[in-house]
Structure 1
Amino acid sequence: MRKENSDFKTSFLSEAGSFMQNKDYFAYAELDDVACWVAVKGLDADQEINSAELAAKGILEKFMEKPSMSKRSIKKYIKNAQNLLQAQSLRVRLKASIVVVVSDYSKMICAVAGNTRLYHFRNGLLTYKSSDQSLAQELVNDRNSSFDISQHDERTNLLNYLGKPNSFQPFVSNKIKLMDGDVLLLCTSGLWEEVSEIEMADALEGAKEPEQYTDLLEEVLLSRQKKVVNNYTIASIFANKIYQETNKKKMKYIKMIVAALIVALIVGGSTIFYQAKQAKKLAELTVEMKEHEKTGNVNFQDGNYADALLEYSEGRNAAKKLKDPIHRNLLARKLRVTQLIINGDKAAEAGEFTDAMAHYEKAKKEGKLIKSFGKEVIEQRITNMDSIVQIVEGIKDGDFRFEAEDYNGALETYQKARKKALAISFTGEPQIKVKIEETEEKIAELKKAQKELKAEGLEKNGDQSYARQQYLQAIESYTLAQEIYQETDLLAKVLGLERKIMNANDKLNPVPQAQPADTAASGAEPPMDEATVADQHSNTEKEGK
């Protein structure tokens, strides 16, 4: 496990600059024993097909199928991207400039087609820079001069690039040894035309993490304050710790070879040595094939389908070398089933349920050919897919009812959908819960509004009864209205009704007032209530004025 025993950190950013569309693209894959980083700049004007993305994915697709650090394999990866661009060149010829770095975490190989670049820094100094396949670079090479290519008029006049109709010859370097603390920088012309190598090295001094380095380089680039900023991609890889090769395996094989040589000398025939060597190689391949299949099965059972896919692929390659058709076909079937499950999961996540079901059905059919391989997993996915479709349809129906203000109907629909989501651990369950809470709030608001309307009606009835001097009926209406206002937390309304109830009670049960004897005897008018006294007092003041 080279990756686990090394420390490589990657950070990148890819921006459109002053343009609406970003024609650059960066992608990478770090596997257990080998990694691949790809930076691409699209050179065509096609608005529908992103040639950079197509090329990067084409390279990583082949890399994932057969991970290798050999120059021959890397050329095949790039050739696949070349074929993809040529096949998709329907409206315009798709073109791209690309740099590819493949590493086994202790060494690396760089491949270039065009003028996308790799810079390799060690101890803050530039130790390697990829060469452009441009006329400007050729002029530098021919004249043995060192003028600045970034400012030369022919820097974009590429002699080789992805999508070239004929004589396509990418550059592939030899293996380059890595050391702890090395920094790799992959970038498109949008960066290196504006940021010098000295500035790249200076930015490393204050960068402890790859994110800091890419951010600093972007700041330097944007500080130029150009009216037009081209698409740019910056990807930095900090090789904090490389994988340390061990000599134990080498010594083991040396001892085995020495033993075999001794046997050969004793027997006295080179034929026996050759046969022993071949038998040893076949035995190693057999062990390797079975180990890959075993590890793949464990990963498959654990649901680590991407890792299982890689193991089955390695096992199948070993079976091919062994010329073992039985295991080759078996592992090819397992590889196919695993890939179909992965494709189905991706389609389901994207909401493409028809495509997902098609992948799962194909996986089920393929699995039947090898003792129902993956049957339970696939059937569970198919069952869950039916539920997911029902859940999604339920959510849509609930949304429709919610928009139509049928909140009770929406609530019932959402609750059914959530129940199904919980049953299959559907990832969208939290969103359904939020919809339920929003619907319940709407229902509560409506109920509160209805209660307020009812209370207002009772209060109005109370006012009418009071006006007709039906104080008992007025008190009953006011009391009922007050209870409802209390339930709806309308405290101002509660206090207002309390005053009305007190007034009605005073009218219903007036307090008797003592009268002087002479006044009563003389037949004077009965005492006036407070309102009458207030009115007369007001009139007296007016007359006085």
Structure 2
Amino acid sequence: MRAIQGKRVRVRMRKENSDFKTEFLSEAGTFMENRDYFAFVELDDMACWVAADGLDSDQEAHSAEMVVQLLLENFTDKPTMSRRKLDEYLQEANDWLRYESRRVRLKASLIMVVTDYTRMVWAVAGNARLYHFRGGRLLGVSRDLSLAQSMADELRISQAAVDRHEERHNLLEYVGKPEQFQPFVSKKTLLAEGDVLLLVTSGLWEGVDIPEMLDVLEEAKEPTAMVDMLEEVLLSKQRPTIANYTAAAVYADKVFKEERKSKKKMIKWIIITLIPLLIMLGFLIYYKSQEAKRLAETVASMLEHAENGDEFAAEENYAEAMKEFSEARNASIKIKDKVHTLLYTKKYKIAQSIVTGDSLLKDGSYEKAEEQFAKAKKSAEKDEHFDPLELDKRIQQAAAFKGVQEKVKEADLLMESQDYAGAIEIYKKARNAAIHAGFASGEKDIKSKLEEAESKLKALEKEQKKLLAEKQEQRGDRSNAMEDYAGAIDAYAKAQQTYQEIGLLENVLAMERKIAKADEMLNPIPLPSTGNGGSNGEPGGASAAGTDSDTSAGGSSAGSSGGGSASGTSGNSASGTSSNTASGASGNSASGTNSNTASGTSGNSASGTSGNTASGASGNSASGTSGNSASGTSSNTASGTSGNTASGVDSNMSES
């Protein structure tokens, strides 16, 4: 056991007791994008360098980077120089590129070198190369897996012609190959101090010949100087087109020295360790048998969950599909099956996106739901278990719901600004769109908003009509005050009609009363009259209408061009446009539309711009309780309770 521990110490100190220096460059050449990729890892006991050249034109996936990272991840997890294990790592990288080939077929050429700081193994897929220099000379170069190299192997062309042959890029093996993939993995090669390893892609070895590499090697004492000088040689040729190129130089200034053990010591060590190893082997066999059993059960569980997930996905039960794919992924992680882990993780994410989209659609986040459905459809392009038509249906439904939501928001803004008519119009459009899209909950909400908008619009219209009716009523009041009873009636009638339309019955009745009063003022009811009149003050009177006419009730009359009446306590009245007019030297004159009116105990009065004027030598006289007298140029005056008007030279006299 002490010897085993000592060996472990020596293994852990391999890197510390060796000196490997690495430098690289990777450029796009005359192209816009560099699709080459180089990376390396140096562990305590082993190191790995990988250079790859992407051979496809996919703008999203970078095949070279994907391959290098997967290889280094597997190597870091389980460092090895086993040809079988390295082949497994390459096969897994090939499967991964094939799986990710959605838009175009992803392809990559690579060279991989693994060392324990004492020996090395390299692997090739394509035409990326390894040059091994020792003592200033080329010790060896990797073999391309191309048609040109195959022709050279068959002696159809020379080995020197391979670098310029038109079939040098016609690769027989490459990472991402759809058929059987057979990369080349070398045997172990012992390293010596001062060895130089050069990993390059085709973009560099096509432009730099081996003699030029040897010249650079002779001058360059450090890896940095070597890659810089190789680049200078390549660019100095000033070719119109320079492909992506990568060069990585590894200087093994000191390799790890292993102690050589004699055969006797080795046999003794084997015998000493054999017994405990046999005991351990028994436990190991038992453990492995149990582990194999668990592994088989886990694999079976993984496949069963994956199959169930596919069935649920085909039935559009994505929530259950997500659960099954999650179980399948967990099982693949337990057995460390990275390819199936990636596969089931992708299926899980597709189902998860759909379930998330359904939840967002239910919560009203329609834009985010549409994004989730579109993401799921894009990821499921080559998975036959997810129906693209169903995903399209979900995308269209989310888009339709989002359109309805935007219309409702627009109508809500109009409601806030009290543009109820505009809001109603947009609510109706949104409701029709919701019905067409099968958006039941949205249609119900829109219906409520529409009813609210219509109610507010009716209330606003009623208020506007009420204000209009009040204005009409006020106009009627002004006309009534100005004794324009006909205009007042018209305004009151319009106000009444408007009040009637909006159902204000109390205001309707109020207008009815105002119309009746105005009508009474416009069309007054005439007082009843009798035919007897005289000096004894009994009821009687005279009236003049039309152009001019005198009428005397109770036997009195006045001639000439005017007329007068005197009886009892009543006097003269004139209505319309008639007036008493006296022509000649003397008489009564009335101007305008005014007439002489005497009633009750009052005498003659004249309104307008002039009163009664009498000229001549004599006036009118009336017998009874009072009479008119006129002399000279004086006006007629009536005393008592009534008086007559007279025109002309001679006055009229009426007696009882």
**TM-score where L is the length of structure 1:** 0.49
Larger RCO of the pair (alpha carbons < 8 Å, separation 6+) = 1
Q: Which has the higher helix share?
A: 1
Higher alpha-carbon Rg: 2
